[in-house]
Amino acid sequence: MSELPRSYQNFRSEFPEIAEAYDALGQQIHEHGPLDDKTRQLVKLAFAIGARLEGAAHAHIRRSLEMGISVEEIKHVALLAMTTLGFPTTVSAYTWIEDIVKDQSS
């Protein structure tokens, strides 16, 4: 797994109880519904793309690849954004995917 951003690590170090509670909430949410791990991961990537959260998108792209989700499946999520979120958002998402894919192939 790649190193998490320093700001994220600093936040977790300064507020460990809050980070732990946040992790527990996330775990409960993941376990609550019927979606499988792959579907949940792709949905979370789509949320990050839709909100135009580059850092979150990078994190979900990395996590997707670590889970064995293909680059083609990840790019399909970005393409699906086009008719709802527009061409610029789709191109941004594509560049975020390329950032991670290029980084992992180096």
pTM of the shown model: 0.87
Residues 85, 62, single domain; the answer is yes
Hey, what long-range contacts does 46-53 have (CB within 8 A, 24 or more apart)?
Answer: 46/77, 46/80, 46/81, 49/77, 49/78, 49/81, 49/85, 49/89, 49/92, 49/93, 49/96, 50/81, 50/84, 50/85, 50/89, 52/89, 52/92
Range of the domain at 50: 36-105
- Tell me: the pLDDT tens digits for 1-55? 457 789 989 999 999 999 999 999 999 999 999 999 999 999 999 999 999 999 9
Of 3 and 103, which is predicted with more confidence? 103
Residues 93, 50, single domain; the answer is yes
Residues 42, 28, single domain; the answer is no
